[in-house]
Structure 1
Amino acid sequence: MSDIVESIPVARAATPGVLQAWTRAAVRGFLTHVLPPLVIIGFLVLVWQVLGSRPGAALPSPAKVVQDTWDLIAHPWYDRGGNDVGIAWQLLASLKRVAYGYSLAVVAGVSLGVLVGQSTWALRGLDPLFQVLRTVPPLAWLPISLAGFRDGHPSAIFVIFITSIWPIIINTSIGIRNIPEDYRNVAKVIRLNGLEYFGKIMLPAAAPFIFSGLRIGVGLSWLAIIAAEMLIGGVGIGFFIWDAWNSSRISDIILALVYVGLVGFALDRIVAFVGRKVTRGTAAA
């Protein structure tokens, strides 16, 4: 008991040192990672404010944008029925389409990537087709999908799928082909079956490449849905931007672009975070 009592002052004496170390780390992190983008963004906003405040300026200043769109900012979840909903609902509708199309692309892309990476015959047969199709612009698929599905919602999902699948296939196949030969030999020695080899050797070794493709794919998905919704109409942030343009609501467009950028950044960070967790012990995504 006396030993415990004697150790208490020591622990208390060490606490300020620990707090100082945490404080220094927090300050260093702020100065390194937070302050630089804040300075750059603040400078750009200041330049924009100066240029947008001039008489006859084509675009509104940041202060004017906030003033014009304050109701959208303050009430993002309003719902007056039909397409008259808040910007949060518009973003949510777009995210749902992205979730469907991107999930299908992940399943199909990883599967085809594994096939192409494992089979030389499949590589020679499918790779030229993939290289041709991946160069088709996303919106070029929209008329074909509308003709096939005869509905805007599945057509938009198909555009997301066909746009995001190519980097997933290519990066997965590269990762599979770059699995060290020693790994394959070990799998033969311990006699892993196909499913065990896939789960214990193939996926962990190729995971950094796969998640590189997934990050590219999610970015392309978000780009594709914005463009597709401008044409198919209905609820969605792309349609919101196009409708604002037709109504000459430039401030609404700028606000929507800010939200689009923030959501796209968040999607990329989420996939990167999952990639770091999955590839821990192999490589960073």
Structure 2
Amino acid sequence: MVGLNEVWRARTDASLQRALDAVAGGEPRLHAAMRHAVLLGGKRMRPLLVHATAHAFGAAPGAADAAAAAIELVHAYSLVHDDLPAMDDDALRRGQPTVHVAFDEATAILAGDALQTLAFSLLAEAPLDAEIRLAMVAALAHASGANGMCGGQALDLAATGEDVSIDIAALERLHAMKTGALLRAAVTLGALAAGVDADTRARLDSFAAALGLAFQIRDDLLDIEGDSATLGKTAGKDVAQDKATFPALIGLEASRDRLQALAARMDEALAPFGDAVAPLAALGRRAIERDH
């Protein structure tokens, strides 16, 4: 039997394919770069979180499709720009050459820009009530902008280098913005698709905030413990670039302990919802236990 994650992933991939096909009439090289960034793999963690949250609270099957695709497009754009020479200067992503390597830097910048605008177009045109569409646009914009993902990336760049010092509170704020904000937005978008009340959304946000930090700590650990073939990206880059990471700041064992403490917080936040959130809880565990 096909599991829910496989169904949601297939729905997301189909939505992404349709969205990219709809803009295929433009410049061919730009479109090819956009497809390269989006369709060549990836965990699809953020769209899965959208669907799992929406499903848990009774949303109609198609209510989360646009939001799931939109958040994956924003994530893909962020990776394209993150890999650029001016940022992390990486040559490998999802086991494939990064966009600026496969194409060129200018095309990669434009592809990222186009993916971001396509994401908001999907939300604006989604077959949902106008109030829900507006709330979704606002949530994704806040999570991806200066006080979210982009701001976190700026903090990350400022905290990189052997002469830079950062404390644990600053590191957690950095990652709450750079990585956590978009994961929290995924859960928020699913909650909006299901029309849940404010108290439920607040508890779900507590789960998502813990998940966002846990996801980044696991990333930091994998950069040390993983290999490039399994990760699908270059291992050891954090150490080589003197990046601020949890293992660098507090050590491997303390990072693992922090991961388990966050797992407990995630379970506690979801406990009142019972079996309905089992797929969502399972995604949280996957984030902590993954090997890539």
Taking structure 2 as the reference length, the TM-score comes to 0.31
Whichever of the two has the greater Rg, that structure is 1
Structure with higher helix content:
1
Using structure 1 for the length normalisation, give the TM-score. Answer: 0.32
